[in-house]
Amino acid sequence: MTQKFPKLFLYLLGALFLLNLVQSFFTELIYDEAYYWYYAQNLDSGYFDHPPMVALLIKLSSFLFNGELGVRLMSCILGIGTLAVLWHIIEDERKKDYVVHFFLMMFAMPLLNVYGFLTLPDTPLLFFTALFLLIYKRFLVKASMGNTVFLGLVMAGLMYSKYHAVLVIFFVLLSNLKLLRNKYAWLAVFISLLAYLPHFAWLYNNDFVTIKYHLFERPNQPYSFEGFTLGYILNLVLNFGLIFPFAYWALFKKKANEDFDKALLFLSYGIILFFLLSSFQRRTQTQWVIVICIPMALLAYDYLIQNAKSRKWMYRLSILSLILLLIGRIGLAYQPLFPIVYETHGNKEWVNELKSKAGDIPIVFENSYRRSPMYQFYSGGTTTFSLNNVHYRQNQYTIDASESKVQGKKVAYVSLYMNKGDFEYQDLKGGVFKGVFIENFESFRKLRCYADSEVIQLSQKNMPLKIYNPYDVAIPLEKINIRVGYLNPYKQLKETKDIKYSPIEGGATFLKARDTTYFTCSLPDSKLEDLSYLKFSISENGLQSGISSQTYKAER
């Protein structure tokens, strides 16, 4: 062990693991972690937003601990695992002289730092990217059956972590097209696809809802250089913090003398250029490019070993980063040391305040797949549901069985958008939420509307419209109202209007259980000049109308 990992390396790795455990214990969850914790309450081979790896990690963590550490334990393990794999990839014998430099450089990368304990899909993505590069390097030396099987399984692990993994695999393949003639490479691909079959099946059984949402349903906004492309460039800087000049200079100076070096360069440049092009169409998020931290960390460390002058400056900047990031990490747990109120601050307080007013009854949050699981986590498992309306977005609550758990129950309906209610509470950011008690809650958010064409003529009269009722009971038409939402070219909802509709079967007064009911309808006029899309929406029992159809192209 000490031949591959010097004692100093193991001591520092252990110290970092202990630090991340302590951080995990004392830091409240961020909203995304609470959402993925909610995933883990019902393990499945897929979820609305992501593949299931993040849920599996949380479930494994929960077997040993409760609370925040029961969400983050596996992330702490994968965090140090990523560093151990990176160290193992580096073959330069001089690395043993610069163990401290290695840890300082890795700690200086802000997102690589915090994903060492936060449980997000990027945490396993980073680990499996590092492991993929290690096994790929071995595969280049010897395409044995063992390396082939391992490579296939690791590729599956990548894809089970986050869909961005396809870029990692693609750019590594692009760096070495000789692999297309390698039977063992094809066998590795076959093994990975075979291991990925459960998620393919989940996508198929759920009508590819994840793919449709990410590719076609997400709203956008008009392009601006500052908000899109300049913001993306700043994200590239933020991923490496104070050492970013050296990281990118190391990338620029590296020559591709071997196939593995080419893989590192193609992966780094490929991800950077892919999301640069994407930034001309939509806003990119900082963590979307975090995977470049793996190949570029290897390149930067190699450059550090070989250049004494740069090594000194990287060492100094890394120490400064260490100080700043340690202060920031303390601030995540202790709000007065943090410059802003962040997601890890005050969650227990607002949950306790709401619970004191609502008691133990279920909570229905309007348009908040974030607060719903956060309340469930910190309230000790109180039943919650996110009622998504047409002004919001689809999420895991759209497709799972959570709605059934609040049907017919007395609930507290909580919203940020009500003017008055039976009670109210406030979070640390100053948001005032109001709530009302509903004695017999009833919603039908799984009703789906279907048009006969992907392109809808707005002037069309007696347009056919189908409504599928997946529930086990018939739903009286008097309980629902059908509306249409008009969207601009960026799929932003601009207005909603009621639709006049009549059942094709004369005299029908309800939606048949587990069946399709056919209607004709006429779409109301709209004065929107940039009307480009529409979607159908059903409201029930006076609630805000839900997301009840896909987005259709609209033509006047």
Q: Secondary structure of 211-256 in the HEC alphabet?
A: HHHHHHHCCCCCCCHHHHHHHHHHHHHHCCHHHHHHHHHHHHHCCC
DSSP state of 266: H
Instruction: Round the CA-based radius of gyration of the chain to a whole number and report it.
Output: 26
- Asked if residue 341 is part of any domain, the answer here is no
* Helices 165-174 and 122-141, axial angle in degrees (round to 10): 20
Q: Which helix (H) or strand (E) holds 59?
A: helix 53-62
Tell me if 190 is assigned to some domain.
Answer: yes
- Percent pLDDT > 70 in the chain is 99
Q: What residues make up the domain containing 519?
A: 448-555
What value does the mean pLDDT take over residues 225-229? 92
Q: Report helix, strand or coil for 499.
A: coil
CB atoms within 10 A of CB 160: 25
Six-digit token string for 250: 């190391």
pLDDT band at residue 257 under the 50/70/90 scheme: confident
Residues 184 and 137 in one domain: yes
Phi, psi (deg, nearest 5) at residue 86: -60, -45
pLDDT at 523: 93
Averaged pLDDT, 520-540: 93
Q: Is 508 exposed, middle or buried (0-12, 13-18, 19+ CB in 10 A)?
A: middle
In this structure, the answer to whether residues 299 and 428 fall within a common structural domain is no
Model confidence at 430, pLDDT cuts 50, 70, 90, reads: confident
- Can you give the pTM of this predicted structure? 0.95
Instruction: Tell me the C-alpha distance between 139 and 169, whole Å.
Output: 14
What is the pLDDT at residue 343?
95
Q: Look at the chain and report how many structural domains it folds into.
A: 3
pLDDT value, residue 496 = 94
Element housing 106 (H / E): helix 99-108
Tell me which H or E stretch contains 36.
helix 31-40
* Whether residue 281 is found in the same domain as residue 222: yes
Q: Are residues 485 and 527 in the same domain?
A: yes
CA distance 511 to 471: 10
| Contact criterion met (CB below 8 Å) for 522 and 500 | yes
Q: Are 161 and 260 in contact (CB under 8 A)?
A: no
* Over residues 340-359, mean pLDDT: 95
Reply yes or no on whether the pLDDT at 250 is more than 80: yes
Residues 533, 555: Cα–Cα separation, whole Å: 8
Confidence of residue 3 (pLDDT cuts 50, 70, 90): low
Q: Does residue 255 belong to any structural domain of this protein?
A: yes
Q: Are 209 and 448 in contact (CB under 8 A)?
A: no
On whether both 352 and 312 belong to a single domain, the answer is no
Same domain, 430 and 453: no
End-to-end CA distance of the chain: 71
Do 94 and 235 share a domain, yes or no? yes
Mean pLDDT of 346-364: 96
Q: Do 267 and 127 fall within a single domain?
A: yes
In a domain, 218, yes or no: yes
Model confidence at 428: pLDDT above 90: no
CATH number, domain containing residue 532: 2.60.40.10
pLDDT over 90 (residue 217): no
Q: How far apart are CA 337 and CA 331, in angstroms?
A: 5
In a shared domain, residues 423 and 456: no
Asked whether residue 351 is assigned to any structural domain, the reply reads yes
Same domain, 406 and 467: no
Residue with tokens 């700690």: 107
Please check whether residue 342 lies inside any domain of the structure: no
Q: Is residue 328 part of a domain?
A: yes
Domain boundary among 296, 314, 335: 335
Q: Answer with the one of 411, 438, 465 that is the final residue of a domain.
A: 438
Q: Is the pLDDT of residue 502 over 70?
A: yes
Q: Could you say which of 419, 438, 457 is where a domain stops?
A: 438
Query: Alpha-carbon distance 436 to 543, whole Å?
Result: 12
**Domain identity same for 240 and 190:** yes
One domain for residues 73 and 199: yes
pLDDT digit string, tens, across residues 407-419: 999 999 999 988 8
Residue 156 lies in a domain: yes
Average pLDDT, the chain: 95
